[in-house]
Amino acid sequence: MSVLFSPIKLRSLELANRIMVSPMCQYSADDGAANDWHFTHINTLALSGAAMFCIEATHVEPIGRITPGCLGLWDDATEAALKPILASVRKHSKAAVAMQLAHAGRKGSSQRPWDGGQQIPLEQGGWQTVAPSAIAHKEGELAPLAVDAAGLVRIRDAFVDAAKRAERLGIDALELHGAHGYLLHQFLSPLANQRTDQYGGSLENRMRFPLEVFDAVRETFPADKPVGVRVSATDWVEGGWDLPQTIAFAEALKHRGVDWIDVSSGGVSPLQKITLGPGYQVPFAEAVKQATGLPTMAVGLITQAQQAEEIVASGKADMVALARGMLYDPRWGWHAAAELGGQVSVPPQYWRSQPSSHKELFGRTTFGAR
C-alpha cells in the first residue's frame, strides 16, 4: 500500500492522497485578473492526479504584486475573473482547490522573469514598494517605504478581504505566503526587518505582524476549512532567519490553529548561498514536523515517485508539493500512482487511456463502448 496515495484529512477537507500542485506564479494576469492562460493552466493541473491544486501567489493589493502580470484578489473584477475557471475545475476534477495569499513587499515592482526580473523604475511604470524597513532588496534598487501603523492595518485588512473573496469563490483551503523574501518573510528576517518598534528587534516582535495576519485570516475563513503557511526555513545567509526561529514561528502558529507548514527556504537576500540537490529542503520539513508535531509539506526538487513515497512513508513530511515536476509532466500523479500501486480519479473521457498493465489505476477495469 502506497503511503503517498493514502488519504489525509485537514479539518473537514478530506484528500485522497498526499500530493499538492504547488502554487506557481504565472506572471500572466491582466491588472491582477485571471484570464484564458489561467483557465488552461489550472484546469490542466487540476487533472494531474494530485489531491489538491494550489492557485499561485494571489496578491492582496496592487502594490503587493511581484510583477505587473501577477494574480490578485482585491476587488470585484479580480474575483469575477476566477469564477468561470473554478466552475470548470469543479465540473471536471475532484481535486481540492487551495489559494496562496501573498504580498511581495519590497520585491514588488519587478519585471517578469522572462523579461529579466529586475526592478521596474517608477518612470517606466513601476510602483513604490513597502516593507518592514526602508532597505532595498539589493544594491542599486529604489528602497521601499517602511510600513507605518496605518499601512499595517491596511495590509492586514487586505488579507482579510481576499480571504472573504476566496470563501465566496468556494476555495477549499488557504495558504499564507510567509516565504521567499516576500512581505511576511521580510518581517520575520532580521536581514530585512530593522524596525525599532513592537514589530522589530526580538524574535517575538518580528513574528508579531505575520501572526496578526494569520489570526485575522483564520478568524475570517470558515472554521471547518484549513489554513496553512509557507515558510522559508532559512535565509541561507549568516545572521538571517534560520531553522530554530522557523520552529519557534511554527510553534506560535500551532497554538493559533495552523493546519500545515509548507517548508521552503531562501529568497530574502541575493547573498544567499544554497546547495541544491534532490529533496534539498526535505530536512527542514522533517525538523519542523519532529519539533512541533504539525503536518508539514516538503518541497524542492522532488521529481520522482519513489522519492516522494520515501519522504512521506518515512515520516519526514506528511505531504509533498510539486511545482516544476508538474509543469514538465502534467500527469505526474497518474504516473506515480501507476508506479506505486495507487489510484487516481480522472474524468470518464480519459478512462480509455488506462494501460492494460495498470488496470486498477483509475479504479476501473472495464469500459463500455459500442
Q: Which residues does the annotation mark as catalytic?
A: 182
Cα angle 363, 260, 251 (rounded to 5 degrees) comes to 155
Distance CA 61, CA 326 (A): 28
Distance CA 24, CA 27 (A): 9
Distance CA 300, CA 311 (A): 12
Helix (H, G, I), strand (E, B) or coil at 89: helix
The DSSP annotation for 133-163 comes to SS--SSTTSPPPEEP-HHHHHHHHHHHHHHH
Cα angle 280, 282, 283 (rounded to 5 degrees) comes to 95
Handedness of CA 231, 234, 237, 238 (dihedral sign): positive
Quick one: cell of 321?
Answer: 508539493
Helix (H) or strand (E) holding 21: strand 19-21
Contacts of 355 (CB under 8 A, 6+ apart): 338, 361
Residue recorded with cell 529542503 = 281
The DSSP annotation for 301-360 comes to S---HHHHHHHHHTTS-SEEEESHHHHH-TTHHHHHHHHHT------GGGGGG--GGGTT
- Smallest CA-to-CA distance from 262 within 294, 293, 297 is with 297
Contacts of 145 (CB under 8 A, 6+ apart): 128, 129, 130, 131, 134
